[in-house]
Structure 1
Amino acid sequence: MKLFVQIPCLNEEGTLGLVLDTIPRQIEGVDEIEILVIDDGSKDRTVEVAREHGVKHFVRHARNMGLARSFRDGVDYALAHGADIVVNTDGDNQYKQEYIGDLVAPVVRGEADIAIADRQTAKIAHFSWFKKRMQHFGSQVVNYAAGTRLPDAASGFRAYSKNALLKLNVITQFSYCMETIIQAGNKRLRIASVPITTNPKTRESRLFNNIFQHMAKSGGAITRSYLMFKPHVVLGWLAAFFAIVGAIPFVRFFILWCMGTAGGHIQSLVFGTTMLVAALLCVALLVIADLQRTNRVLIEETLERVKNIEYGRVDDTQISGIRAALIPGLLPGGDDPNSQED
């Protein structure tokens, strides 16, 4: 079993050496441990420091692409080089790398597809009271969207099995943390939480300027991910709300009409009609969203099959069936003049 520890870095020459020195070289149940540094447009000696510590695997961006893109490119590289498990950690030495063995243990044992470190944020000294409350609230929101029970959904110290990575597709440009949990929860992947402690703070976050910006960006990522899987919940409640609000003026107008005092209340009918039209539009959007969700599921299944071929998860007997699904006109037992033998 091969483990890749990937470290996204942006100008981390001051702390990267500490991270690399503390990564364990032997873990029970793991045969090979490789370290991958993702240089996200660093302007300092990040890459040189990594080479001095014996790192041989690199993904380099000419300019800063963001954490989500760095994670995705790192995963592609690791899977292409035979990774069975990928651990994502940070280059700022926030996490204690000694916990990597504990983090991958549930994945190695086959008890979980993903393991997420619980930083126990309520005990972190440099977190303000407000930040601790927002971390807890944010985790609860993610748990609701994903159907999970994770105490620290924002933690970036994680272990992913190869099977999980083949099923997940990172779309957001901000951070993969919330999105992958919501996808994993809705795809019924098993997620474990592993309690850890963290190192003292070394620098301010480069993902956001303040906690309010972080809340806004995280909220947008959570909303988009939730709508991908459960658009019927949002649109269904909106349709019901507009229908009820629209029905009230009609009932009021009918009562006034029965009492002979309906004159002068035509505006109630106008308002009610507007609300009912809004409800009808929500229903129409719900139908469209449901069709799009069906298409997304089919596309994701196709992507998973393509990844299986690319990263060597299938045998030759399965490839012909996959080709038949992907190449138009290629039917089992039939001839395709455009097909080529490997």
Structure 2
Amino acid sequence: MKLVVMIPSYNEEETIASVIREIPRSIPGIETVEVLVINDGSTDRTVEEARKAGADKIISFKKNKGLAPGFRAGLETALSMGADIIVNTDADGQYDGGEIPKLIQPILDNKADFVLGSRTKGTIEEMPLQKTIGNRMATWVTRNVSGLPVSDGQSGFRAFTRDAAMRLNVMSDYTYVQETLIQAANLGLVYTEVPILFRKRTGGSSRLISNIFNYAKRAGVTILKSYRDYQPLRTFLFLGSVMIVAGFIVGLKPLLHYLSTYTVAFYGSAMVAMLLLIIGFTTIVLGLLADIMRTQKKVQDEILYRLKKLELNTINTNNNR
């Protein structure tokens, strides 16, 4: 069995070497451990430090693209390297590489497809208050949207089976953490968590969450889009129902007046009520159409999965010759 540990990195010259050296190269049940660094347009010595520390493969973007594109490229590259299990970790050293054997054990035991390293179930050495509040709020939303028993929806320390990685299709341009959980739930992947240690950051401020409010806004949009794509009927039914209820409330006064006097009045309220009712029923119809398209999306995802599988099998066959 081959394990590939992928490390998305952006200007982490101070910590990348220690992160790589901390990754265990000998793990029971694993024959080969390789380290993949995704250099997200770093302008410092991240690449040089990673190479000196023993990274097996480094891919680089010409400019900074963000965490989601880096994660997506990392999954694709790790699969092409022949990974049976893929672990994602951060380059800032806050996750303990020595806990990778514990993280992948449920996969080795054939009990999970997707394992999340939970900081809230483990030990947190330090986390700023605003990030603690933001993490709890995002986790609550992710847990309710996905239906998974997620305790730490923002954790980047996670492991995937080869099959799970081939089925995940990250579409966001910002962050992958919530989207992959929502996808895992809708794909029926077996999910579990293990407690981990989250250490104090030593390499400066966070490259991803420099502004908690901007992060909350962009992550929230990602969650809403993911939920809309996988639960379109529920989404549009809710929105349509809100419009219809609002229409009935606004139209109640002119309706009662008409029933009691048989004369039409309150024209403004009546027009607004009609508009809201039309929009509400139209939205529900759009939800029905979107639900039909969701069925087509499932077929497309299955075709994409099979194409990935065929392509990677061909690559591995050529590499073994």
TM-score of the superposition, structure 1-length normalised? 0.87
CA displacement at 1:128 relative to structure 2: 3.3
CA displacement at 1:241 relative to structure 2: 2.1
| Greater RCO, 1 or 2 (C-alpha within 8 Å, sep 6+) | 2
Deviations 1:16-53 (A, max 9, x none): 11111211111111111011111111122222222222
CA distance in 2, matches of 1:25, 1:129: 36
Counterpart of 2:317 in structure 1 is none
Whether the aligned pair in 2 keeps the contact of 1:113 and 1:164 (CA below 8 Å) is: yes
Q: Which runs of 5+ in 1 are unaligned?
A: 314-342
Mark the structure with the bigger radius of gyration. 1
What one-letter code is carried by the residue in structure 1 that aligns with 2:133? R
Provide the alpha-carbon RMSD of the alignment: 2.1
What one-letter code is carried by the residue in structure 1 that aligns with 2:67? L
What one-letter code is carried by the residue in structure 2 that aligns with 1:242? M
Q: 1:35 is paired with a residue of what secondary structure?
A: strand
Counterpart of 1:30 in structure 2 is 30
Whether the aligned pair in 1 keeps the contact of 2:254 and 2:265 (CA below 8 Å) is: no
Counterpart of 2:287 in structure 1 is 286
The 5 A counterparts of 1:126-275 are 126-202=126-202, 203-260=204-261, 262-275=263-276
Higher mean alpha-carbon deviation, 55-64 vs 211-220, is at 55-64
CA displacement at 1:57 relative to structure 2: 1.1
Q: 2:98 is paired with a residue of what secondary structure?
A: helix
Counterpart of 1:69 in structure 2 is 69
CA displacement at 1:105 relative to structure 2: 0.5
Counterpart of 1:87 in structure 2 is 87
Q: 1:21 is paired with a residue of what secondary structure?
A: helix
CA distance in 2, matches of 1:269, 1:302: 50
CA displacement at 1:265 relative to structure 2: 2.4
Q: 2:197 is paired with a residue of what secondary structure?
A: coil
CA distance in 2, matches of 1:301, 1:274: 40
Counterpart of 1:304 in structure 2 is 305
Aligned-pair identity in percent equals: 35
Counterpart of 1:49 in structure 2 is 49
Distance 1:242 1:54, change over 3 A: closer
- Number of positions where the alignment pairs a residue of Structure 1 with one of Structure 2: 315
CA distance in 2, matches of 1:166, 1:188: 14
Structure 1 position 97 matched with structure 2 position 91: no
What one-letter code is carried by the residue in structure 1 that aligns with 2:226? S
TM-score of the superposition, structure 2-length normalised? 0.92
Distance 1:282 1:305, change over 3 A: same
What one-letter code is carried by the residue in structure 2 that aligns with 1:141? V
Counterpart of 1:114 in structure 2 is 114
CA distance in 1, matches of 2:42, 2:134: 30
CA distance in 2, matches of 1:79, 1:207: 25
Distance 1:254 1:40, change over 3 A: closer
What one-letter code is carried by the residue in structure 1 that aligns with 2:222? A
Deviations 1:170-212 (A, max 9, x none): 1001111110000001111111111011222122111132111
What one-letter code is carried by the residue in structure 2 that aligns with 1:49? E
What one-letter code is carried by the residue in structure 2 that aligns with 1:194? V
Distance 1:93 1:258, change over 3 A: closer
CA distance in 2, matches of 1:259, 1:11: 73
CA distance in 2, matches of 1:42, 1:256: 68
Distance 1:178 1:249, change over 3 A: closer
